[in-house]
Amino acid sequence: MKKKISLAGLVLILILVFTGCGRSETAEYDEETLQYYSQYFISFFNSQTEEQIESYRGSPDTLLDMYLIQNGIPIEGDNFLTILDAWQAGLNECGEFIQCGEFEMTTDKDGAILTADAEFADRDGTVVFEYDENMYLESVTVSGIYSTGEVLEKAGLNTILGMGTVFVVLIFLCFVIWLFKFIPALEKKFHRAENVEPVQQTAAQTPSPTMDSVSGDEENDLELAAVIAAAVAAAEGTSTDDFVVRSIKRRKTNKWK
């Protein structure tokens, strides 16, 4: 009986140990330090000029990492330019930064997130800083706060744009389909042109009567007239100089014996 109780106790202890190992623990973060970092980043980002940002883009990764380490800026070099772009995009949306409210921190197993309301020149917005487990800044998000009317207006414009694009494409397809009825007529026209061209080429290649052939026919007629004239002169007992053969016609009846 004691062995069974001991075995049950051992099994219970093992279950508790494995349960404790599988449970995810949330790391502890210094909220005051992260708030200080966030305020520092806002001041740092606002103080950067376009020339400085372009110089950061043109710097090698090693020099950029050394610059961040020397100035005590807790950002990985790979994320630095991305975070700068995100901040500039937020300023383009909300306008020039004016001031920021108190930060609220939430934590999980991946890091800490600090959120605060901010005032900009064009509209109010929200600033979100995300830190990893080593309290290095991973990302910055600046989002403007829009009124209900602005949200509906933007949704309406997106709807009109989407539906307009669909209708334009449909109209274009209908126009293309309408053009299909002209294809048979064009095919017939091309076929006729192809058939006429060989005929013209054949006609051009057919030899036309030349002067040689015409002159040959005339010579044959003259010879025939001379023979007939000689026969008539012999029958009449005269000379061919006394008459001239102007034409020769075949008679229907033959009186020659």
Convert 189-202 into a string of H (helix), E (strand) and C (coil).
HHHHHHHHHHHHHH
Say if residues 136 and 83 touch (Cβ distance below 8 Å).
no
Per the CB < 8 A criterion, the answer to whether 138 and 77 are in contact is no
Q: What is the pLDDT of residue 184?
A: 84
Cα 193 from chain centroid (whole Å): 39
- The listed range with the strongest mean pLDDT (31-45, 54-68, 202-216, 236-250) is 31-45
Q: What is the pLDDT of residue 216?
A: 57
Rounded to an integer, the average pLDDT of 28-54 is 89
Say how far apart CA 153 and CA 148 lie, in whole Å: 8
Tell me the pLDDT tens digit for each residue of 177-201: 998 888 888 888 887 777 665 545 5
Tell me which of 21-35, 129-143, 222-236 is least confident. Answer: 21-35
- Cβ atoms of 96 and 89 closer than 8 Å: no
Give the confidence band of 28 by pLDDT, cuts at 50, 70, 90.
Answer: confident
Q: Where are the beta strands (DSSP E) in the chain?
A: 97-100, 104-107, 112-120, 124-131, 137-144
pLDDT at 241: 67
Does the pLDDT value for residue 145 go beyond 80? yes
Q: Is the pLDDT of residue 168 over 90?
A: yes
The pLDDT value recorded for residue 214 is 46
Q: Which residues contact 214 (CB under 8 A, 6 or more apart)?
A: none
The predicted-structure confidence for 76-94, as pLDDT tens digits, reads as follows 888 888 998 999 999 999 9
User: Per-residue pLDDT for 26 more than 70?
Assistant: no
- Residue of higher predicted confidence among 215 and 186: 186
Rounded to two decimals, the pTM is: 0.53
Residue 20 amino acid letter: G
Per-residue pLDDT, 5: 56
Q: Report the pLDDT value the prediction gives residue 2, as an integer from 0 to 100.
A: 53
